[in-house]
Chain A
């Protein structure tokens, strides 16, 4: 994943690189052209000036020869020689590379060759100027370009960093608030004011979305609580009528079996409803009866309560205390948690299976033998079906999870060595 600002940054850098690379030959051509044009102009002017000066000097043939001799000997960049033969040759501009003995290297020269008339005689005038070598120009331009490109990229990086820090700050704040948002915690989310239109819009939209979600969530919670509350009376009446029916002496065997068969789904209905109410109550209450709970003590109590069910399935129970396990929790929640985990283990262990309870000062775990791993995703959700067994109310683990959430503990499920392992850590794993 790339950061949002890195995308244009990359494009900008590549674009700048292309433009600067293209600029190198363009600069060279432009500089070279200006240079040569200037030199040619200069040669033109020099030529006209030489011609005019010789004309105005009115030199005799002898004088002229002497002057031309010394001119040709002393002038470094030009010479004048008398022309014989055809004089009908045009001005020519040429470039030549020749050895420069003063610089001990080959240099590029730009020259102008023309015919001038002095005292009705024709002479050949040649002017040459040393021009910078093409590769030297390109090298200089290239060097400057590279340095400039470096500065440009460095600037981009710095600006990018600065902009992303400043401009994206409201976004980061919004994001971190959303990350820590937990619908079930019933917390309000307020976003900071921002002067960037897009972020302001984002914040408004997200706020509205959250507010709507909270309302829907609360309505749903209230609905579940109300529905299960309303179900209590009919369930109580059903149970009551069945009890009365059972006492009827005229009841024959088939009928009493039917009554008994009704008791089983009724018990399940009672259980589901009771657990729904319990879950709603845990979600909605703050528990003030917090006390120091000794895990081994509670687990012994729970084991005693469930002794009959343990014996019925001939389960082996192992208890391993690595160190004393004390924690602060509501007594009611602690008992509910442990009872739920232990009865869950009992329910899902087959005959002659094994249950291991382990605890240390950091947490505790319940393990029970099993065949295959349960689905991690749906395990703690309400009414999720993780096994084919029907006795499950589908709420036991949801209650366990809710109690853990209330206490800020973490619960984790693993399947290892043919054991289902539910472990609870007081601090994050």
Chain B
């Protein structure tokens, strides 16, 4: 899997590279408009992370350029300009997702997962991990052929965990994933415990592999 990170803030770009390195992604970075444009013209990527404000030009132009060449690379806009207009504009030009800065890397990883999944036509609707099978179209989960009924939040959490396997996920990252922008209006995210607890219980009832672990004082980890 090839990922291009178009981000002028070098530190942030290298952090993303580090965070994603554990998965089988090959990350490249572009720090300015010209480099970015050159790379997207020459190569094909599974996912492009696109910052909108770049030295030398506007990120939207790269997106427009990409789509005008009929390239179907997945694009996630990562921007500090968290305005509705930009979001709508980006999605209209052909971005697959829009993530406002600052974000948790785990959230980004989950979004990349989801974008890449959508671009791969062969197992478009199915995620399989050992005994767990998730049908993305019908939003149903089976463990060793036995269906389990999850609430929407539990289902979201499960996908988030699987998209971030072997990573420690903080409570605030989980809360932000569940509540979006509204999460940062609150300091207490204790409801996350309840959802995780319920999810764990339902998974345990069907004797899954016990991947979901609580990391004391920090959060959770889906360890494989």
CA separation between A264 and B105, bound complex, in Å? 17
In whole Å, how far is B28's beta carbon from the nearest beta carbon of chain A? 18
CA separation between A238 and B101, bound complex, in Å? 11
User: A243-B106, A256-B217 in contact; A237/B11 too (CB < 8 A)?
Assistant: yes
Q: Which of A229, A238, A281, A347 contacts B83 (CB 8 A)?
A: A281
Q: Is B218 an interface residue (CB 8 A)?
A: yes
In whole Å, how far is A226's beta carbon from the nearest beta carbon of chain B? 13
A277 pairs with B168, CB closer than 8 A: no
A274 pairs with B170, CB closer than 8 A: no
- What is the 8 Å Cβ interface bit string for chain A, positions 209-242, against chain B (1 contact, 0 not)? 0000000000000000000010011011111110
B184 pairs with A270, CB closer than 8 A: yes
Main secondary structure of the interface of A (DSSP, over half): helix
| Cβ < 8 Å to A, chain B residues 18-64 | 18-19
Q: Is A163 an interface residue (CB 8 A)?
A: no
Q: Is A305 an interface residue (CB 8 A)?
A: yes
A240 pairs with B16, CB closer than 8 A: yes
* Residue numbers in A under 8 Å from B82 (CB-CB): 274, 277
Q: Which one of B121-129, B136-144, B175-183, B198-206 is at the interface?
A: B175-183
Total of A-B residue pairs, C-beta within 8 Å = 115
User: A243-B19, A263-B170 in contact; A236/B9 too (CB < 8 A)?
Assistant: yes
User: A268-B187, A305-B179 in contact; A247/B172 too (CB < 8 A)?
Assistant: no
* Residue numbers in B under 8 Å from A305 (CB-CB): 179-180, 182
CA separation between A393 and B181, bound complex, in Å? 14
User: A256-B218, A339-B182 in contact; A236/B188 too (CB < 8 A)?
Assistant: no
A236 pairs with B182, CB closer than 8 A: no
In whole Å, how far is B196's beta carbon from the nearest beta carbon of chain A? 12
- What is the 8 Å Cβ interface bit string for chain B, positions 72-116, against chain A (1 contact, 0 not)? 000000001011100000000000000001111110000000000
How big is the A interface, by class? 35 or more
CA separation between A343 and B182, bound complex, in Å? 8
User: Nearest chain-A residue to B105 (Cβ)?
Assistant: A243
CA separation between A277 and B79, bound complex, in Å? 14
A309 pairs with B9, CB closer than 8 A: no
User: A244-B19, A332-B84 in contact; A239/B102 too (CB < 8 A)?
Assistant: yes
B102 pairs with A232, CB closer than 8 A: yes
B186 pairs with A240, CB closer than 8 A: no
B104 pairs with A396, CB closer than 8 A: no
* Residue numbers in A under 8 Å from B167 (CB-CB): 247
In whole Å, how far is B76's beta carbon from the nearest beta carbon of chain A? 15
Q: Is A87 an interface residue (CB 8 A)?
A: no
Q: Is A38 an interface residue (CB 8 A)?
A: no
B178 pairs with A259, CB closer than 8 A: no
B12 pairs with A237, CB closer than 8 A: yes
* Residue numbers in B under 8 Å from A274 (CB-CB): 82, 184
User: A233-B9, A312-B190 in contact; A257/B217 too (CB < 8 A)?
Assistant: yes
B185 pairs with A240, CB closer than 8 A: no
CA separation between A121 and B153, bound complex, in Å? 148
A233 pairs with B80, CB closer than 8 A: yes
| Cβ < 8 Å to B, chain A residues 109-152 | none
CA separation between A312 and B195, bound complex, in Å? 11
Q: Is B149 an interface residue (CB 8 A)?
A: no
* Residue numbers in A under 8 Å from B106 (CB-CB): 243
| Cβ < 8 Å to A, chain B residues 148-178 | 153, 167-168, 170-173, 178
* Residue numbers in B under 8 Å from A260 (CB-CB): 170-171, 217-219
Q: Is A246 an interface residue (CB 8 A)?
A: yes
Q: Is A14 an interface residue (CB 8 A)?
A: no
User: A239-B104, A244-B105 in contact; A347/B185 too (CB < 8 A)?
Assistant: yes
Q: Which residues of A contact B (CB under 8 A)?
A: 229, 232-233, 235-241, 243-244, 246-247, 253, 256-257, 259-260, 263-264, 267-268, 270-271, 274, 277, 281, 289, 305-306, 308-309, 311-312, 332, 339-340, 343, 346-347, 390-391, 393, 396
Other than the given A237-B9, A312-B191, 14 more pairs (CB < 8 A) read A233-B12, A236-B12, A241-B15, A243-B19, A243-B173, A253-B217, A257-B217, A259-B218, A267-B184, A270-B184, A309-B186, A312-B194, A339-B182, A343-B186
12 inter-chain pairs at a CB distance below 8 angstroms, sorted by A residue, are: A232-B80, A232-B102, A233-B101, A236-B101, A240-B15, A247-B19, A260-B170, A263-B170, A268-B187, A270-B102, A309-B191, A339-B182
